[in-house]
């Protein structure tokens, strides 16, 4: 069942990316994008978890990510000058993913009694700081939401790293790689919106995002 859902998600993701290439969005994209995330949610639900609490938190986080997906479908990926309805949809997506990162972090802390993040996370802090240095001056009225979101994203990566440091198993490694890919996807999204478009941005954002949540679903 999980294998079939994984193949289905991969095919749906590839079709969604093909349907939204360089601003030429096909109507099928509005079906394929949420469908891909729904199939990934199915992977988490179909798993036989070692921890029911971990599964519940992951499914909750993925459902919130689905809500964020829907909101971001109605933004145009414009620069910092985007206003009105576009900004409202973007803030809706940001809020949904903010809550999702909180749920992911809660999941990653399940069964971890003394979180001890590894030293290499200093590189993540440096990366996040450099990214904020570039993005915040261009974020306009969205400075505070973007800052809060980035802190939540970093917390999600830190808890995933702490989980893997504590458990050192394949599932926690999947969750860690998923968290890092989520950060890469969001970095590309933030750069496209606030700094400027670049070739292949949407394919990079979507491919890393779906791989990220797919790995996290597999960690259940």
Q: What is residue 109's DSSP assignment?
A: T
Instruction: Flag whether 37 is in a domain.
Output: no
Quickly count: other Cβ atoms within 10 Å of residue 144's Cβ.
10
Quickly count: other Cβ atoms within 10 Å of residue 164's Cβ.
24
The pLDDT score that the predictor gives to residue 146 is 93
Instruction: Flag whether 212 is in a domain.
Output: yes
pLDDT (tens digit per residue) in 42-90: 999 999 998 999 999 999 999 999 999 999 988 865 444 445 567 788 8
Instruction: Flag whether 22 is in a domain.
Output: no
**CA distance linking residue 106 with residue 25, whole number of Å:** 36
Q: What is residue 9's DSSP assignment?
A: H
Instruction: Flag whether 30 is in a domain.
Output: no
Domain membership of residue 160 as a residue range: 51-218
Instruction: Flag whether 205 is in a domain.
Output: yes
**CA distance linking residue 6 with residue 218, whole number of Å:** 9
The pLDDT score that the predictor gives to residue 25 is 85
pLDDT (tens digit per residue) in 89-145: 889 999 999 999 999 999 999 988 877 788 899 999 999 999 999 999 999 889 999
The pLDDT score that the predictor gives to residue 70 is 94
The pLDDT score that the predictor gives to residue 115 is 75
């Amino acid at each position: 069942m999980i294998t079939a859902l994984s193949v289905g998600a991969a095919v749906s993701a590839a079709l969604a990316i093909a349907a939204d290439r360089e601003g030429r969005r096909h109507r099928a994209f509005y079906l394929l994008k949420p469908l891909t995330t729904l199939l990934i949610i199915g992977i988490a639900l179909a798993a036989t978890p070692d921890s029911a609490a971990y599964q519940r938190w992951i499914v909750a986080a993925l459902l919130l990510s689905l809500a964020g997906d829907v909101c971001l479908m109605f933004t145009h990926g414009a620069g910092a000058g985007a206003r009105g309805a576009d900004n409202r949809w973007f803030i809706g997506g940001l809020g949904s993913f903010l809550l999702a990162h909180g749920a992911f972090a809660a999941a990653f802390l399940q069964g971890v009694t003394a979180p001890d993040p590894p030293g290499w996370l200093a590189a993540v802090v440096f990366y996040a700081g450099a990214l904020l240095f570039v993005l915040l001056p261009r974020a306009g009225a969205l400075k505070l939401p973007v800052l809060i979101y980035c802190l939540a994203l970093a917390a999600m990566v830190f808890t995933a790293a702490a989980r893997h440091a504590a458990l050192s198993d394949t599932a926690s490694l999947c969750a860690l790689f998923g968290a890092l890919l989520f950060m890469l996807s969001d970095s590309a999204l933030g750069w496209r919106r606030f700094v400027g478009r670049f070739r292949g941005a949407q394919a990079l954002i979507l491919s890393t995002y779906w791989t990220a949540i797919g790995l996290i679903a597999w960690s259940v």
